[in-house]
Structure 1
Amino acid sequence: MCALCGVLGGSDHWTDAIARPGVFSRNPEAAERRRERSRRVQCANKLLTFYGLRLRDWQGSAFLLSSATGKTEIVDHLAHLWIKAERLTGRKCDPLDPALIARLEASGD
């Protein structure tokens, strides 16, 4: 997307469930959107534990990404997750890392 579309398009991201039917989500109910967001956090944490990180929802408007040592970054939306993860760990974090995939397959997740 060009920078102008990003500015004019608002702060919603395609990974967020919002109230407009048919846009990003089929869930017009606030409780269901909240559950959807919670499921995204759970899925992300299955990957992030490999790097010693944990993601939490923050008031339904952003996420908090924390390391085992307590360092924390605010993540506006999931598109920024891996950039922030690399900043916290000081190393490359690849969700397609063969070792991570093997660990997930071994655990059945």
Structure 2
Amino acid sequence: MCGLCGSFAHGHWSDGVASASATPAAERARRASVANAALAPYGLALKPWGTRYVLASRTGRQSVVDGFGNLWPAAERMLGRACDPLDEAVIARLERSGR
């Protein structure tokens, strides 16, 4: 989704893919679990916090993230370097873990 369309939307486009049987809180927890597999090589972890997420580093730095559209930019700011979830090493790690 482009930035203009995103500014009219509430939430992230991925919010619409929740399973019918999952509560919104359970779906956020599931998404955080999957994101954590991609964030682990960078020493970061994500946990649900109400309708948002908290991104944390191993050193204790934390950032509130409104949704997945803001996750990777927040991770890069926290790390001070690029954080690519499509990096071949990250994808290989995800595939080995069965994600």
- Tell me whether the two structures share a fold, i.e. TM-score over 0.5: yes
Structure 1 segments, 4+ long, off by >6 Å, are none
Q: Which has the higher helix share?
A: 2
Residue 13 of structure 2 corresponds to which residue in structure 1?
Answer: 14
Contact 1:71–1:88 (8 Å) recurs in 2: yes
**Aligned residue pair count:** 97
Alignment of 1:1-109 (within 5 A): 1=2, 3=4, 5-9=5-9, 11-16=10-15, 24=16, 25=18, 27=20, 32-59=23-50, 61-109=51-99
Structure 1 residues 8, 103: CA separation in 2 closer, same or farther (over 3 Å shift)? Answer: closer
Paired with 1:71 and 1:99, the residues of 2 have a C-alpha distance of: 25
Structure 1 residues 98, 76: CA separation in 2 closer, same or farther (over 3 Å shift)? Answer: same
- Structure 2 residue runs of 5 or longer lacking an equivalent are none
1:106 shift after superposition: 3.2
1:73 shift after superposition: 0.8
1:78 shift after superposition: 0.5
Paired with 1:96 and 1:48, the residues of 2 have a C-alpha distance of: 11
Higher Rg of the two aligned structures = 1
Q: Secondary structure at the match of 2:56?
A: strand
Instruction: Say which structure, 1 or 2, has more relative contact order (CA 8 Å, 6+ apart).
Output: 2
So what's the TM-score if we normalise by structure 2? 0.82
Structure 1 vs Structure 2 CA RMSD: 2.1
Q: Secondary structure at the match of 2:76?
A: helix
So what's the TM-score if we normalise by structure 1? 0.75
1:108 shift after superposition: 3.6
- Structure 1 residue runs of 5 or longer lacking an equivalent are 17-23
